[in-house]
Structure 1
Amino acid sequence: MILVISYPGEEHTDDVVARLERRGLDVLRIDLADFPGRTGLSCTWNSSEGTQVKISTPDGTFDLQDVRAAWWRRVRHPTVDPAITDPNAAAFVLSETNEAVDGMLDSLDCPWMNPRAADNAAHHKPLQWTVARQVGLAVPDTLVTTDPDHARRFIQRSSGCQTVFKAFIAIADAWRETRLVEASDLDHLESVRLAPVIFQDYVPGVDLRIIHVGEKFYTAELDARSTSYPVDMRMVIGEANVRSVTLPESVEERLLALQKRLGLVYGAIDMRRTETGEYVFLEVNPAGQWLFVESLTGLPISQAVADQLESMANGMNCSPYSKVTASAIGGSH
């Protein structure tokens, strides 16, 4: 059985699950928001029955000991019963549910795409940039700060270099595009005291969205240089010229080293290729989107994700780091 953890309507998950089911594979999909009300759990450790890890859903009861591979996609948090109105009681229920569900999932002896602890750690951009530099990838000069004076010095250190500021993570309810720092923004630098801000050298060039699956890379070039907003290609995908390209072998080797160090089996990597041909690493999203790349280029990414999960479930073609946890990220390389 292949365990898929994602919420209903997540279109990337829908596509891959449909492919797996058409192959006749047994797929169990759960939404963590269904715990503990719609989906219950019973885990036992005793001398007569051994270890049992069972969950009950509206579709039946399933033994997670049968899971041979798991996919940690985009997830939601458990839901507290609205009848619990006391905030302290609600916090206790949520804490207890998280402890039980997380422990249950971490107890499964199967390969993950991506391992949960590694996936969580790899979302942190400061870790990404540190590891990227360690494996030989070019990273733009970057500052993360709550110090207005440091921010001002970074922005003004070179008159010939533009600076962008960006969010750490895209939140649906507070989405922010990457923006160039304008002269008017300098009057508001005191606000960085309220929350850390990423400032980074702006790298002109062609965007690359690179989908990494297992040992393979699927790369799309998105040339947004002549669009209405070349600073952030996410804003102008419909205007950009898009085509599939092949990365230099040396860049793929460094990216694979990055992914292995981070413990990721899957990742959506963003880079820029400059006018001089330099490849500059911007970030990796462990749960990034790929369907827009697939639709614009025809690259068989959904098939590759399904193939990877099937191979992992069959014990074949598994990445040697499929069970890497966050504690191993800082190890030697």
Structure 2
Amino acid sequence: MIVVVSYEGEDHSDAVCACLQRAGRELLRIDLADFPVRNRIALRWRDGAAPQYLLEIAGREVDLAAARVVWWRRVRGFDVDPAILRGQHRAFASSETGQAVHGMLDALGCAWMNPRLADEAAHHKPLQWTLAQQVGLQVPATLVTTRAEEAQRFVAEQGLGQVVFKAFLASIEEWRETRLVTAEDLGRLDLLRLAPVIFQRYIPGVDLRITIVGRRLFTTEIDARHTSYPVDMRMVVGEGRAAAAQLPADIEAKLLALQDRLGLRYGAVDMRRTDDGQYLFLEVNPAGQWLFAERLSGLPITQAVADHLCELDGPAAGP
């Protein structure tokens, strides 16, 4: 059984689930927002018997102990019963639900894409940059700081107009594009005391979105250099020239080594290729999107994700 931890309407998991269903795979989709109210659980440990991880979903009871692979893909928070009104009581109910549900999932002795705790850690960019350097990837000069004087010094060293600043996580509610630091921004550096900010040397070049599925790499190059916003290709995906591309073998090997160090089976990597042929690592998103890259390049990424899950699941059950 393949367990997909995501939610209806998440278009990437929707597309892969459709592939898995066509392949005749036993599939269970779990939305964490359905806990604790809509999805009920009963976890049992008894002498001489294997643990049971029973879920009741839409009137169907399933023992998660039968799972052979779990795909951890963009999840939502727990939805606490609205009858619980007080904030501290809601927080307690959510915490208790997390202890039970996450503990149940972590106890499953099956393959994961990606392991939940590895996925969580791999979202942290300081860890990514450190490990990327250790495996031999080149990282642009980068500063994370809450100190105005450090940011001022970094911009002076790199040159005004040669530094970008960006957020650690771009959520739907608080989405921010990557921006060049301007003279006006330098007058607001005292605001750094409120939260850390990433400053990074701006690297002109062609964007590379590298989708890694198991040991396979699918590279889409997007040339946004002559678009209306070359600083952040996400803003102008439809304007730039895009095509499938091939990475040098040594870069592929280093990216796979990084995935191994992070404990990931899936990752969406962003890099820049300069005009003189340098490859610079920007980040890896363990839950990154690929449908736009697939549409632009024609690379069969959705099918590759489904195929990898099937490989981890093992032979399909007979009729």
1:28 aligns with 2:33: no
Which residue in the other structure is 1:100 paired with? 100
Report what 1:73 is aligned to.
73
Q: CA offset at residue 59 of structure 1?
A: 4.6
Equivalent AA in structure 2 for residue 179 of structure 1: R
2:282 equivalent to 1:303: no
C-alpha deviation, 1:56, in angstroms: 0.5
> Over residues 296-319 of structure 1, what are the superposed CA-to-partner deviations in whole Å (9 max), with x where a residue is unaligned?
111000010000000001189xxx
SS at match of 2:258: helix
Q: How do 1:112-131 residues align onto structure 2 when only pairs under 5 Å count?
A: 112-131=112-131
State the AA in 2 paired with 1:277. Answer: G
**2:88 corresponding residue in structure 1:** 88
1:43–1:51: 8 Å Cα contact kept in structure 2? yes
- Contact 2:161-2:181 within 8 A present in 1 as well: no
Task: Give the distance between the partners of 1:292 and 1:309, measured in 2 at CA.
Answer: 21
Report the secondary structure of 1:174's partner residue: coil
Q: Which residue does the alignment assign to 2:6?
A: 6
- Residue 18 (1) aligns with residue 18 (2): yes
| Matching residue of 1:152 | 152
Structure 1, unaligned runs of 5 or more: 317-333
User: Structure 2 vs 1, CA of residues 86 and 182 (structure 1 numbering), >3 Å: closer, same or farther?
Assistant: same
In structure 2, C-alpha distance between the alignment counterparts of 1:57 and 1:159, rounded to whole Å: 57
Q: What stretches of structure 1 move > 4 A for 4+ residues in a row?
A: none
Q: How does 1:156-235 map to 2 (within 5 A)?
A: 156-159=156-159, 162-235=162-235
Distance 1:186 1:117 in 2: 38
User: How far 1:50 moved relative to its partner?
Assistant: 3.3
> Which SS does the other structure have where 2:187 is aligned?
helix
Q: Give the SS at the match of 2:119.
A: helix
Q: CA RMSD in A?
A: 1.2
Aligned to 1:323: none
| 1:161–1:201 CA contact under 8 A, matched in 2 | no
Give the corresponding residue for 1:139: 139
When residues 188 and 55 of structure 1 are mapped into structure 2, their CA distance, relative to the original with a 3 A threshold, is same
1:275-331 deviation per Cα after TM superposition (whole angstroms, max 9, x unaligned):
110000000000000001111111000010000000001189xxxxxxxxxxxxxxx
1:51 to partner: Cα distance: 1.1
Report the Cα distance in structure 2 between the residues aligned to 1:175 and 1:134, rounded to whole angstroms: 30
In 1, are the aligned partners of 2:162 and 2:202 still within 8 Å (CA)? yes
Q: CA deviation at 1:7?
A: 1.2
The Cα of 1:48 is off from its aligned counterpart by 5.6
The alpha-carbon deviation at position 165 of structure 1 amounts to 0.1
TM-score by length of 2: 0.97
How many residue pairs get matched? 316
SS in 2 for 1:157: helix
Q: Give the CA deviation at 1:88.
A: 1.7
Instruction: Indicate the SS of the match to 1:46.
Output: coil
What TM-score results when the alignment is normalised by the length of structure 1?
A: 0.93
1:279 is the counterpart of 2:279: yes
Aligned to 1:327: none
Q: Deviations over 1:105-163 (max 9, x none)?
A: 00000010001110000000000000000000000000000000001000111437700
Residues 219 and 244 in structure 1, CA contact (< 8 A), matched pair in contact too: yes
The residue number in structure 1 matching 2:312 is 312
Q: Decide whether aligned partners of structure 1 residues 27 and 147 sit closer, same or farther in structure 2, where only a CA change above 3 A counts.
A: same
What is the match of residue 322 of structure 1?
Answer: none
Residues 159-210 of structure 1 deviation map (CA, whole Å, 9 limit, x = unaligned): 3770000000111111000000011111000001000000000000000000
Percent identical among aligned pairs is 58
Structure 2, unaligned stretches of length 5 or more?
A: none
Whether the 8 Å contact between 2:161 and 2:182 is mirrored in structure 1 is no
- 1:87: how far off? 1.4
Structure 2 counterpart of 1:122, which letter? A
